[in-house]
Amino acid sequence: MNLYQTQKKQKADQLTDAFRIFNELSQNLSVSYQGLEEQVAKLHGELAFAHSERLKTLEEKERLAGRLEKILAALPAGVIVLDVGGKVVDCNAVAMDFLGEPLIGQDWLDVVARSLIPVSGNPHECQLSNGKRVNMTVSRDVVCNDAADSGQIIVLSDVSEMRNLQDLLNQQKQLSAMGEMVASMAHQVRTPLTTAILYASQMGSPALDNEKRLRFSQKILERLQYLERQVNDMLIFAKDGRLAMETFSLAELLNHLRETAKEYTGSGRIDLQIINDVQNDTMLGNENALRGALLNLLNNAVEAVSQNGCIRISVSQLGSSELRIVIKDDGPGIAKELCQRIFEPFFTTKTHGTGLGLAVVDSVVKAHGGHVHVESVLGQGTVFSLVLPCIDQAFNVLPGGFSHKAVLPDALRVNTNLFPTDLSGKNHHQNHNKGELSHETV
């Protein structure tokens, strides 16, 4: 075999091998293409299933959104949705009825200033322009997946009917308490009144000497003063904390308390101490009501210590506007379980008592925006502490001779416009009796 034939045979073998490799690659490509078709068909089926499930989810969400929309429209409360900037982005029909239009797109603070009137004493309630009372509930920040969709939800609930029912219930309770008080007062008034009439009927007797006449007149005066205290307690209790406020002198109040204490103690040997550590003498409140409340506490202290004992009344200042009055006696004390009930109306442990004295004290203190607390240990005495924000800051002087008028609590804003502000920066009552110690036996 010559060289030419050898080369020709080699080329034929190479061509045969190439055809064989081509056939193998074609078969592999056919198998791969068939597998790819199967994979595409599988993915197409999965995509169709996912699309079907997505449609079902969207239909469910649409039904849920429709149901929620119907529920929102049927709610008796107003619902307002705010965005992160505090603007109204959505609301229901009740909210539009409460707040009026325009509402969508408005700044919530502008809507509040336009349509809601604050109610004193309750930060969660507001009054609408039509007189209805609504309770406002503000949710915490509602955070969504998108920060731009975050915001708050505000719910306005109409509580007018509930408030009317509550006022009616309180009125019925007050009338019931008044009836109970009148029934209790009947006996308390009849006894001293009968005694006073008996002594008064003897005053005109010509056989009555001057000593007896003087003693009878003192007995009549004591009974009449007792009746006056009972009537004052009844009137203060009936006012239910509605007291007119005006300026008065703390020193005069304590002096009157000291003089009246002599009538309360009679001929007993009771050590009475009155200590005043308050620099400012000008107070803002109801002097008569405070005097009656303090006299009730003083009378209880006198009865507790009997004929021999010590009663200490100390007055100090807490902060710039608060006054603390502490009445302490060394009597037998009060049991712990009774301390929890002594401020309840008509609750008394006395044989002849109405149970109004300490209830009046609590009512007067609350009417001044303060609070009263009692501490007692059996065998060691009792301490009543009254904290009253009644120091009139219109007369306080700042360094440099400037005066200022502080913001008073809501309970003390009655009739404050009737009294002129001291523009000179001087205290109208220079006698502040700082550190005054009255230590006397009465």
CATH number, residue 183:
1.10.287
Helix (H) or strand (E) holding 178: helix 160-203
Which residue's entry shows tokens 């229901």? 92
Question: Residue 78 has what pLDDT?
Answer: 85
Please state the φ and ψ torsions of residue 299, each to the nearest 5 degrees: -65, -40
Q: How far apart are CA 383 and CA 376, in angstroms?
A: 6
Q: Which among 27, 57, 73 is the end of a domain?
A: 73
Summarised one tens digit per residue, pLDDT across range 71-83 is 777 777 888 888 8
Looking at the 3D structure of the chain, how many domains does it have? 4
- pLDDT for residue 318: 85
Residue 166: inside a domain: yes
Identify whether residues 334 and 316 lie together within a single domain.
yes
**139 in a structural domain:** yes
Write the CB contacts of 22 (distance below 8 Å, at least 6 apart in sequence).
Answer: none
The pLDDT assigned to 211 comes to 85
pLDDT tens per residue across span 138-172: 876 654 545 556 678 888 888 888 888 888 888 88
Rounded distance, CA 95 to CA 100, Å? 8
Task: For residues 218 and 260, state if they share a domain.
Answer: no
Looking at per-residue pLDDT, the higher value among 342 and 395 belongs to 342
Q: Sign of dihedral through CA atoms 154, 160, 165, 168?
A: positive
Pairing mode of beta strands 133-138, 122-128? antiparallel
H helix intervals, 75-143: 93-99, 108-115
Residues 117, 256: one domain?
A: no
Q: Which tokens belong to 130? A: 């039509």
Residue 256 lies in domain = 244-441
| Residue 350 and residue 408 in one domain | yes
Residue 318's beta-bridge partner residues?
A: 322
How many Å apart are CA 54 and CA 404, to the nearest integer?
69
Instruction: Give the best-scoring range by mean pLDDT among 137-141, 216-220, 227-231, 268-272.
Output: 216-220
Q: Which of 158, 179, 207 is the last residue of a domain?
A: 158
